[in-house]
Structure 1
Amino acid sequence: MPRFLHYSDVENVYDDPERAGRLAGTITALGGDDALVVGTGDNTSPGVVAMVAKGHQAVDFFRAVDADLSTFGNHDFDYGPDETRALLPETPQTWVSANVRDEDGGRFGAAEGVVPWTVEEVDGVRVGFFGVTDPATDSLNPSAADLTFTDPYEAAERAVSALRDEGVDRVVALSHLGGGDDELARRVDVDVVLGGHVHSERVDRVDGTVLTRPGVNGETVLEVVVDEEGVRVERHDPADGPENPRLAEALRSRVAEAGLDEVVATVERPIERSADVVHGGECRVGNFVADAYRWATDADVALQNSGGIRAGPPLEGAVTVADLVSVIPFEEQVVLAEVTGAELLDAFRQMSAAVVDFGEAGWWHGHVSGARIVWDDDAAELVEATVAGETVDPDRLYTVAMAEYLLHSDHEFPAVEERHRAGEFGIQHEQLAAYARERGIDPAVEGRIERMSTASPAEPSQRDA
């Protein structure tokens, strides 16, 4: 009766050593000879400690839980392919990846031991595993642009065929496809899809295949049990689990060495930044980030993608540089783009999940400064858009401040592209810190984004009001 202890997208868990220690302690306590510890991507980055250690802090965690298997997520390439390859030999697990190709077209990480699929015997059962990564990773992550991410479903079909030929008893997919897990379950004959990428928990069944996803930041460990009667899943909350003190202490040392403890402002009212808040519409943390970008660039408008604001504990009390890095933990520039009003209107439309098929249905993908928009959720239409109180003129040119990532990605705000680049203004979290030092941190929800229904009048978002 094999068991799989499934974690994924732990991302900035390393910035909270106690939480990381309890995550590791929970996994260890659940372990045994009949269990494999399995990760499905984005377990090395992003985060404050990750940025300083270039992802190598994850090795502390992998060794603490005695990880068995992993596949790659888009953020596992945040510091470039060479840094990822350098990390692999330090880790205890087998890395499986069937659809990532290196700069020369060969299998990524082959020299470091990465395999497209593998077979493990667990409690007398031969289980085949393969790994697949979102094919849009080279768009989602500029640092991965030199790699190639092939069709994951074709790669999965080849892997499953090979594993079945080897006579395995069960086949398990390690997936960082997010919403693509449903298609994976329909396309290939697997018993379980252990998923990641989308930051919400999921235990579901599609065409007889069980799909799991643990959510984000180590908030959940899923215990997946496979026996003669089928597959069952049990959720475990690490907050209630035992702590691994050795891992916690190792991470505390890394946090101290980061040297990011300067206090830049004091926050009187806690500023929430949970995924529900950030993806729910206008919110205080979104306004703070967008305001900082517009302040740094003197742009007409600032746009911040919701996915770029990482979930974590509220900003409150003495806020340090490290706290601001944890909000936007990327070494990317704030850039200025020059767009037409028509292109800006398209970008405003692309804040809605109804227009851009990314993440969960109903997610809101953007935050603004210097603008006000009204959006009809039922009709999926932009009702009104103004900049500096004036209706957006489709023929006028506007300057827009944003993260450099958005010029590269076609996943969020695809209306704005590299050709729109007009200047660079420093690393994102450094601009947040500079803004906080001069202006403080006290954002408010003030009606910049109104989400309405065709059946009722527009009302301002009340997220984190």
Structure 2
Amino acid sequence: MKISMHLGVTFMMAPLILAGACTNSNPAATAASEMAVKEHKSISILHTNDMHGSYMPFLTTTDNATAQTGDAGRDTLITFDKTATIGGFAYLATAINKVRNEKGADKVLLVDGGDTFSDDQLGNLTKGEAMIRFMNAVKYDLMALGNHDFDYGLQRTRELEQLATFPMRAANITDDNTLQPVFGEPYIIKEKNGVKVAILALGYRNTPKTGNPDNVKGLTFKVGQEVAQTYVPELRKKADVVVVLSHEGTAVDYKMAREVAGIDLIIGAHSHDILEPRKKIGQTYVVQAMSDAAVLGETELVLRNQKLIDVKTHHHWLWNEQVQPDAAMQELIDEQRRPHLEKLQEYVVESKAVIGRQYKSESPFDKLVGNLLIESFHGDIAVMPGVGYGISLKPGPVTSEEIYKLLPHPSKIVTLTMTGKQLKSTLEQAAKNLKPDNKLEAVGGLIQTAGIRYEMDLTKPVGERVSNVQIKSQPVEDTQNYQVVTHNGLLTGLHNFDEIGKGRNINRTAQPLTEFLIQKLKEMKTVDMPANMGEVTIKR
């Protein structure tokens, strides 16, 4: 990895222990030294986030780390220095057990930051149950509710919360009937090694704009920072350490750290960042552990006289060549997969290249999908939402399971007519999503397009960032009509793209996008990197 990592954990009491050993002839000094040692305590919080149903290892390459882990448009760019497989729940279980064995289970907590059990074919087939069973097996203590944790609908999320042996919570998501935080008390207080730790869970404020709004009917989503300001004073009275488990994204976590007094640690999620070493803002530390069960974050809290004096971070990278899979977890994975193997392993196409997904820049996989939509539905352009989950298709056989990892949702293809003015407005909204005036308004990545060329300058004011827009080598005219192919998700205002839903001649087909793609790829026999990459130029 081209980033500082694998920081060693320092045991701060070594000098005190040594001092005690050198003064055995002085009982008073020895007693004082022993008391000093006892005043120091440490606990470790293990954390994952944005697993997106990723229970299997996936490929990393030197030039493409997928949308989750490396993207030219990300604030914290991560690139890999080797092609290898990483992650998988069997490997994650090994790392969790290793830390518990080394530190002592009575000194370790395990939490997840949300976006956990969907965005995967096995997740779809079991409606999230498989992932919950994997998490139960390693004994998570708490999970924050991310925006994608409602992908199967609110009722299913309730059922999964009951199936889980750990609470799923979000203080800023309230039930419209009870006006209380969804699923119950929005925080936990756990005592580990004599230290009381309060963990407040926060969900994503813009959840209704990231999926089907019907999935979250009956819920109200509030700004997490405002809710934290309400709860933190209460938690300070009840605990030695106050932790926020936040699915708000790194930029918002930094803002919360600056503006909400009393938070010791923010464990982040949503933005798929790797923060190593940990960031300190004022008196608050901020950490995050990338995504997709590729990394196990370990944050050690060091206290003296029940007061936090230091925070240390260590990330356990789950390179399959360096970690042995846990046999019991692998058996459980095999058990969950067995009834669905025929569907999961269905052969689709032969890939001739690494075809990845990017989030805040032009995405090869989404370009491929867009090209096929234009060809099959006679569109001028195709548009897809910019999303932060998926994998890279590697050279060789591609299975149904891999396609569903990139297109997991039951979206159906839609055609419509938009004016040139509406298209330009949509691209300006994409620019605003990438660089909003207010970070709380950030939602989604770059809208993914095929058939349209344009330049985007994020250094310019909002509304003036997009220029040289062309379709079929001709300037896009405001009053001209253009045929657009997309999916029904973008008709609902997803990622604030309201102009798409205002298009005319909307034709909602019955064709599921994922099934369409699988059929087209089977007909193609082989697939390669799209030839029209480079249609989008972005100045940041």
Q: Same fold (TM over 0.5)?
A: yes
Deviates more, 1:323-332 or 1:136-145: 136-145
Q: Which residue in the other structure is 2:236 paired with?
A: 164
Q: Does 1:371 align with 2:452?
A: yes
Q: Which moved more, 1:38-47 or 1:7-16?
A: 7-16
RMSD of aligned residue pairs (Cα, Å):
2.7
- The TM-score normalised by the length of structure 1 is 0.87
Identity of aligned residues (%): 23
Q: 1:21 to 1:357 in 2, by over 3 A?
A: farther
- Residue 251 of structure 1: which of 333, 339, 347 is its match? 333
How far 1:190 moved relative to its partner? 0.5
After TM superposition, give the deviation of residue 319 of structure 1 in Å: 1.8
> Paired residue for 1:70, among 143, 150, 154?
143
Distance 1:30 1:52, change over 3 A: same
Pick aligned residue for 2:257 from 168, 185, 200: 185
Instruction: Classify the secondary structure of the residue corresponding to 1:307.
Output: coil
CA, structure 1 residues 134+263, in 2 after alignment: closer, same or farther (shift >3 Å)? Answer: same
- Decide which of 47, 50, 69 is 1:6's aligned counterpart: 47
Q: State the match for 1:428 in structure 2.
A: 513
Distance 1:300 1:184, change over 3 A: same
Counterpart secondary structure, 1:281: coil
What is residue 191 of structure 2 aligned with on the other side? 121
**Displacement of 1:357:** 6.8
1:320 corresponds to: 399
Which one of the candidate residues 288, 294, 305 is aligned to 1:219? Answer: 294
- For residues 26 and 412 of structure 1, do their structure 2 counterparts lie closer, same or farther at Cα, with a shift above 3 Å needed? farther
Letter in 1 for 2:272: H
Distance 1:103 1:439 in 2: 49
Q: Which runs of 5+ in 1 are unaligned?
A: 455-465
Q: In 1, are the aligned partners of 2:455 and 2:536 still within 8 Å (CA)?
A: yes
Residue in structure 2 matched with residue 460 of structure 1 by the alignment: none
Are the counterparts in 1 of residues 140 and 166 from structure 2 also a CA contact under 8 Å?
yes
CA distance in structure 2 between the aligned counterparts of 1:303 and 1:221, rounded to whole angstroms: 35
Match of 2:485 among 380, 401, 415: 401
Would the aligned equivalents of 1:407 and 1:421 in 2 still touch at CA under 8 Å?
no
1:144 matched to 2:229: no
Shift of 1:83: 0.4
SS of 1:14's equivalent in the other structure is coil
When residues 296 and 356 of structure 1 are mapped into structure 2, their CA distance, relative to the original with a 3 A threshold, is farther
Aligned length: 444
User: Structure 2 vs 1, CA of residues 316 and 421 (structure 1 numbering), >3 Å: closer, same or farther?
Assistant: farther
Deviations, residues 358-401 of structure 1 (Å, cap 9, x unaligned): 7999x961322222223345547323111122211111222222
Q: CA deviation at 1:191?
A: 0.2
Deviation, structure 1 residue 284 = 2.6
Deviation readout 1:160-209 (Å, 9 max, x if unpaired): 1221233x111000110013212221232210001100122123122221
| Alignment deviations for residues 302-330 of structure 1 (CA, whole Å, 9 cap, x no partner) | 0122316x332434322222221111111
Matched-pair contact (CA < 8 Å) for 1:341–1:393: yes
Letter in 2 for 1:91: A
Q: Give the whole-Å Cα distance in 1 for the aligned partners of 2:230 and 2:284.
A: 18
Matched, 1:23 2:96: no
Cα distance change on mapping 1:391 and 1:312 into 2, 3 Å: same
* Partner residue in 2 for 1:47: 120
Distance in 1, matches of 2:379 and 2:532, equals 20
Structure-2-length-normalised TM-score:
0.76
Alpha-carbon separation, structure 2, partners of 1:119 and 1:135: 24
Cα distance in 2, alignment partners of residues 173 and 305 from structure 1: 29
Where does residue 463 of structure 1 map in the other structure? Answer: none
Secondary structure of the residue aligned to 1:13 is coil
Query: Structure 2 vs 1, CA of residues 372 and 191 (structure 1 numbering), >3 Å: closer, same or farther?
Result: same
Counterparts in 2 of 1:299 and 1:253: CA distance versus 1, 3 Å? farther
- Partners of 1:447 and 1:316 lie apart in 2 by 18
The answer to whether structure 1 residue 98 and structure 2 residue 171 are counterparts is: yes
1:387 aligns with 2:471: yes
Q: Is the 8 A contact 1:337 1:423 kept in 2?
A: yes
Q: Check conservation: 2:209, 2:496, Cα contact below 8 A.
A: no
The one-letter amino acid paired with 1:4 is I
Q: Which amino acid aligns with 1:14?
A: Y
How big is the shift at 1:418? 5.9
**2:412 corresponds to which residue?**
333
Give the Cα separation in 1 of the matches to 2:51 and 2:337.
17
Q: Deviations over 1:246-278 (max 9, x none)?
A: 2223323434433243322211223233xxxx1
- 1:139 deviates by 1.7
Do the aligned residues in 1 keep the contact of 2:48 with 2:296 (CA within 8 Å)? yes
Deviates more, 1:283-292 or 1:184-193: 283-292
